[in-house]
A and B are shown apart, each in its own frame.
Chain A
Amino acid sequence: MKSRSTLSRRTLLKSGAALGVGGAFGGLAIPALAGSHVGDVASILADISVPKYVREDYRTLYNMSGEPLWDPNKDWIRTVDWEKVRTELSGTTVRFAIGAADQESAAEGLVPFEKLSGITVELVPIPDDSFYDKAIAEFISGNASFDALQFFSPWLGDFAAPGFLANLDEYASKWNLPLDDFYETYASNYGYFNGALYGIPFDCDIQMVHVRNSYMEQVLGGPVDRVNSIPTYDELIRVSGELNKIAPGVSGVGMMLSRGFWSTYTWEHIAAQAGMMLFDENWEPVFNGDAGMKGMDIIMSLVANANEGHAGAGWPENRAAWLGGQVATNISWQDSGTQAMRPDQSQIVGDFTTIYEPRIEGGRFAPPNIAGSTSCVAASAQNPEGAFLMLAFLTTASIMAMNEANANGVAPGYRSVLNNPRLQEVSQPAKVWADSLEHAWCAPRLPGMFEMEQAIGNEINRAVVGQITGKEALDNAASAVKKIMDRNGFYGGKPPVEYAAAAPGLYVGGGKALPF
């Protein structure tokens, strides 16, 4: 999310919420870079490589050999027939809505695509903090100024349900998009809505638990073990209490418990381990049951050992506290681990470990796939097929792997990438992350889901600061969610989303053996 070079979930989140499509409404589209002449496919592809794409200081730091961090046989840009692409689409134009801050880097990154395909890309820069509003305005107009866009994945239901997005099934099949290489949790929740493909997963996230080695070793009396050092949340509560006293200015645990979706995500993360599901098969909210309450109880216990800013902490504040060494353990996204390895971003290089998700007695191993972003084609696109190909290029395995190596916050969701040993050397969380994804939990992408996440988080935040009890918070949230769903067409006979279509993606770990 802290992506510097590309559009990502956090670019949008950190600014209050929203990538922004279109500032540029009104025809401010500009060519990606001058000249979109086609070139030799083999040489262009050869240039999409570690030495050309990964920062030199990181290559030096990790002695990267230049060998690919991905499997070339599963890298879409190396398997697609570019001659066929050129034959069918060369000379056409694609308009790509992108956060204004990322315009320059995107323009650079798309030059090879233009040369490979003969398609010209025009960037439609949009202010990052109003991406959602602008996208909606453009969609509603029925004449969007862009063909493709990337956005926060919880919005998928909001955009797909009213028919704003193009169905990509036909293109995915025609151009052999390697959907099977995506982890199921990403394909299901960032790609599909009601059984149809609308998105190609872009920034593929998971929340994890990270711990500081030096402090943990003082408490444990030995080195940190990814599986056994903190096997349960009860142990995390105990250990964070000890860690809270270990050094001045260092708190036991860091968490995001600010109002809105930040609190929701932290609670979902923990409650999912207790077996919590948000809805039953009739789309009735059931998260205020025992499992949800267990999550609340754990949060309330952890709060006592948390850093002083926890109740106002979203991702930027939490990231600053973690990378700045102010917390001894941290509940956050995987890239808090990747970035903690980079000396230019972190003060805790070499002094942390990302552990397997702590369990809860009577619960399950369900690491949470939370937030993330996806890439879609507008239903009103003038060149939907070209837009699809451009998005497939941007999300291809090799480019996503090198995003991870650059620690820019845009995370890969491919098995072939996360299980690559060379990638795991430059991304400390990758091994645990890859293992965890086979068991991931995820919230459904429903129309109104983002609004629901806001409503739940507001109530949880009230409980965290002592205004109400945890039970009251969840009950209030369940009432609010029911109202929001009602407003979005649920409970009226034919829900806008079939539960059966969403259910498989909500928890993918059922019946699987644990990875440790």
Chain B
Amino acid sequence: MTELSPNLSGAAKAAPAIRRRSKRMRAAFPYLLLTPAVLYLLMITLYPGVYAIYQSFFLVRFNSWTYIGFQNYIDLWNDREFWAALWNTLVIGSVALTLQCLLALTLAYHAYRDPWIKGWRIIFLVPMLFMPSAVAFMFKLAFMDARVVADLLMRVGVIENNIGWASSTFLSRMILIVADVWQWTPFLFIIFVAALQSQDEEVEEAARLDGASWFKIFWNISLPLMRPVIAVALVLRGIDITTMFANVFIITKGGPGGATETISYFIYRTGFKTFNFGYASAASVVMLILTVIIAQLVVKRAFHSGRE
């Protein structure tokens, strides 16, 4: 030790002083670290978006691009199938979302203080772990190809003949809604449980001591406090439902008569079945704008109300 000390000391003296980065460099450093990730994100989100907007002003036939201004948008405005797809998306999406929200809220409120809540969360996660295409095939088999549901109903005497699921607008939409509710209610359940668990237990306790029923506590205390969380959850799920594709593609193909054709399937069909890429891009842009507007309105309103 003693022998080494002088050497070490000498080495320390000989070492160059640590270079301090310039002020400008220090300011830029975090941005430099972020740059690769940001560039990657821009590449996979912004570039395709800008490309779609650009392409929406062209008539695209394979390698032939012809500039047509806003013609694709004008055609969309007059396209019955586009409006029908928007309507279908709204109907299927709003019913599915409402059911999911109600179910998830009910389940979450009854489970969040349960001592087995961790177990419930795992069980509820299971449907979300399935691949959407596998879920779609499962419901297609159950309702249509394998006639499982109809067969069960026939065996218990509810119906006499098989059901024409694919021929009925109501039933076809119902299958899509049931499949979506089955798979994605757990998503909302988990978020709602977390929101309820984060609330102050003492507030609830005080209300209970004052004689409030569980429903009053939920309605007047828990629900208002959860409003921003519910809004965000619904926006996330709403965006997801708006882009519903796998179930439509696998179960109904948009039938009967286009009654289950969602906007995503319309865009897919236009782009990849009829190869009208410019038109499909225009529909995507409209879809994007609508989604952003609606999401903004919902979030703004919910947070505003929450502050109140």
Task: Enumerate chain A interface residues (CB-CB to B < 8 A).
Answer: 16-17, 132-133, 136, 139-140, 158, 162, 249, 258-260, 308-314, 317, 320, 450-451, 454-455, 458, 461-468, 484, 487-488
Decide yes or no whether B269 CB sits under 8 A from chain A: yes
Q: Mark B158-195, 1 if CB is under 8 A from A, else 0.
A: 00011111111100100000000000000000000000
Chain B's closest residue to A483 (CB) is B75
Determine the chain A residues whose CB is within 8 A of the CB of B258 once the complex forms: 259, 458, 461-462, 467
Determine the chain B residues whose CB is within 8 A of the CB of A458 once the complex forms: 81, 258
Determine the chain A residues whose CB is within 8 A of the CB of B81 once the complex forms: 458
User: By the criterion CB–CB under 8 Å, are A312 and B252 in contact?
Assistant: yes
User: By the criterion CB–CB under 8 Å, are A162 and B63 in contact?
Assistant: yes
Decide yes or no whether B22 CB sits under 8 A from chain A: no
Shortest C-beta distance, A147 to chain B (Å), equals: 20
Decide yes or no whether B273 CB sits under 8 A from chain A: yes
Decide yes or no whether B49 CB sits under 8 A from chain A: no
Determine the chain A residues whose CB is within 8 A of the CB of B272 once the complex forms: 132-133
**Given that A133-B272, A136-B275 are known contacts, is A464 also in contact with B257, CB under 8 Å in the complex?**
yes
User: By the criterion CB–CB under 8 Å, are B274 and A311 in contact?
Assistant: no
Chain B's closest residue to A137 (CB) is B62
**Given that A308-B162, A312-B256, A467-B257 are known contacts, is A162 also in contact with B64, CB under 8 Å in the complex?**
yes
| A259 interface neighbour in B163, B254, B276, Cβ under 8 Å | B254
Determine the chain A residues whose CB is within 8 A of the CB of B172 once the complex forms: 312
Decide yes or no whether B127 CB sits under 8 A from chain A: no
CB contact list, B53-91 vs A, under 8 A: 59, 61-64, 81
Determine the chain A residues whose CB is within 8 A of the CB of B163 once the complex forms: 308
**Given that A258-B253, A259-B254 are known contacts, is A309 also in contact with B144, CB under 8 Å in the complex?**
yes
| B144 interface neighbour in A312, A455, A488, Cβ under 8 Å | A312
User: By the criterion CB–CB under 8 Å, are A140 and B253 in contact?
Assistant: no
User: By the criterion CB–CB under 8 Å, are A455 and B167 in contact?
Assistant: no
Determine the chain B residues whose CB is within 8 A of the CB of A466 once the complex forms: 257
**Given that A139-B62, A162-B62, A461-B257 are known contacts, is A312 also in contact with B274, CB under 8 Å in the complex?**
no
User: By the criterion CB–CB under 8 Å, are B256 and A311 in contact?
Assistant: yes
Decide yes or no whether B132 CB sits under 8 A from chain A: no
Shortest C-beta distance, A387 to chain B (Å), equals: 21
User: By the criterion CB–CB under 8 Å, are A465 and B254 in contact?
Assistant: no
User: By the criterion CB–CB under 8 Å, are B167 and A17 in contact?
Assistant: no
User: By the criterion CB–CB under 8 Å, are B273 and A260 in contact?
Assistant: yes
User: By the criterion CB–CB under 8 Å, are A451 and B276 in contact?
Assistant: yes
Rounded to whole angstroms, the CA-CA distance of A133 and B272 in the bound complex is 7
**Given that A461-B257, A488-B61 are known contacts, is A454 also in contact with B274, CB under 8 Å in the complex?**
yes
CB contact list, B149-164 vs A, under 8 A: 161-164
User: By the criterion CB–CB under 8 Å, are A462 and B274 in contact?
Assistant: no
Rounded to whole angstroms, the CA-CA distance of A484 and B256 in the bound complex is 23
Rounded to whole angstroms, the CA-CA distance of A320 and B274 in the bound complex is 28
Decide yes or no whether B205 CB sits under 8 A from chain A: no
| B257 interface neighbour in A162, A309, A317, A465, Cβ under 8 Å | A465
In the A-B complex, the 3 residue pairs with the smallest Cβ-Cβ separation, listed nearest first, are A312-B166, A462-B257, A465-B256
Determine the chain A residues whose CB is within 8 A of the CB of B62 once the complex forms: 136, 139-140, 158, 162
Rounded to whole angstroms, the CA-CA distance of A312 and B169 in the bound complex is 12
User: By the criterion CB–CB under 8 Å, are A311 and B273 in contact?
Assistant: no
User: By the criterion CB–CB under 8 Å, are B274 and A455 in contact?
Assistant: yes
Rounded to whole angstroms, the CA-CA distance of A312 and B257 in the bound complex is 9
Decide yes or no whether B109 CB sits under 8 A from chain A: no
Determine the chain A residues whose CB is within 8 A of the CB of B274 once the complex forms: 450-451, 454-455, 484
User: By the criterion CB–CB under 8 Å, are B167 and A465 in contact?
Assistant: yes
Determine the chain A residues whose CB is within 8 A of the CB of B249 once the complex forms: 16
Decide yes or no whether B240 CB sits under 8 A from chain A: no
Determine the chain B residues whose CB is within 8 A of the CB of A314 once the complex forms: 253
Rounded to whole angstroms, the CA-CA distance of A458 and B260 in the bound complex is 12
Determine the chain A residues whose CB is within 8 A of the CB of B167 once the complex forms: 308-312, 464-465
User: By the criterion CB–CB under 8 Å, are A320 and B273 in contact?
Assistant: no
Chain B's closest residue to A308 (CB) is B164
Shortest C-beta distance, B97 to chain A (Å), equals: 25
Determine the chain B residues whose CB is within 8 A of the CB of A488 once the complex forms: 61
User: By the criterion CB–CB under 8 Å, are A311 and B166 in contact?
Assistant: yes
Determine the chain A residues whose CB is within 8 A of the CB of B255 once the complex forms: 258-259, 311-312, 461, 465
Rounded to whole angstroms, the CA-CA distance of A309 and B165 in the bound complex is 7
Determine the chain B residues whose CB is within 8 A of the CB of A310 once the complex forms: 166-167
Shortest C-beta distance, B248 to chain A (Å), equals: 11
User: By the criterion CB–CB under 8 Å, are B162 and A312 in contact?
Assistant: no
Sample of 11 more A-B contacts, CB < 8 Å, known A158-B275, A259-B257: A136-B275, A258-B253, A259-B255, A260-B253, A260-B273, A308-B166, A310-B167, A461-B255, A462-B257, A465-B259, A466-B257
Decide yes or no whether B145 CB sits under 8 A from chain A: yes
What are 27 contact pairs spanning A and B, CB under 8 A?
A: A16-B249, A132-B272, A136-B62, A140-B62, A258-B255, A259-B254, A260-B273, A309-B164, A311-B167, A311-B255, A311-B256, A312-B144, A312-B167, A313-B166, A317-B145, A450-B274, A451-B273, A451-B274, A454-B274, A458-B258, A461-B255, A462-B258, A464-B256, A465-B168, A465-B255, A465-B257, A488-B61
**Given that A458-B258, A465-B169 are known contacts, is A311 also in contact with B269, CB under 8 Å in the complex?**
no
User: By the criterion CB–CB under 8 Å, are B63 and A140 in contact?
Assistant: yes
Rounded to whole angstroms, the CA-CA distance of A260 and B257 in the bound complex is 10
**Given that A308-B167, A312-B144 are known contacts, is A259 also in contact with B253, CB under 8 Å in the complex?**
yes
Interface centre among B62, B64, B145, B276 (most CB of A within 10 A): B62
User: By the criterion CB–CB under 8 Å, are A249 and B162 in contact?
Assistant: yes
Determine the chain B residues whose CB is within 8 A of the CB of A451 once the complex forms: 273-276
Shortest C-beta distance, A421 to chain B (Å), equals: 38
Determine the chain B residues whose CB is within 8 A of the CB of A308 once the complex forms: 161-167
Determine the chain B residues whose CB is within 8 A of the CB of A136 once the complex forms: 62, 275
Determine the chain B residues whose CB is within 8 A of the CB of A260 once the complex forms: 253, 273
Shortest C-beta distance, B68 to chain A (Å), equals: 10
Rounded to whole angstroms, the CA-CA distance of A484 and B59 in the bound complex is 12
Shortest C-beta distance, A456 to chain B (Å), equals: 12
Rounded to whole angstroms, the CA-CA distance of A313 and B63 in the bound complex is 34
Rounded to whole angstroms, the CA-CA distance of A487 and B144 in the bound complex is 38
Interface centre among B163, B168, B257 (most CB of A within 10 A): B257
Determine the chain A residues whose CB is within 8 A of the CB of B259 once the complex forms: 465, 467
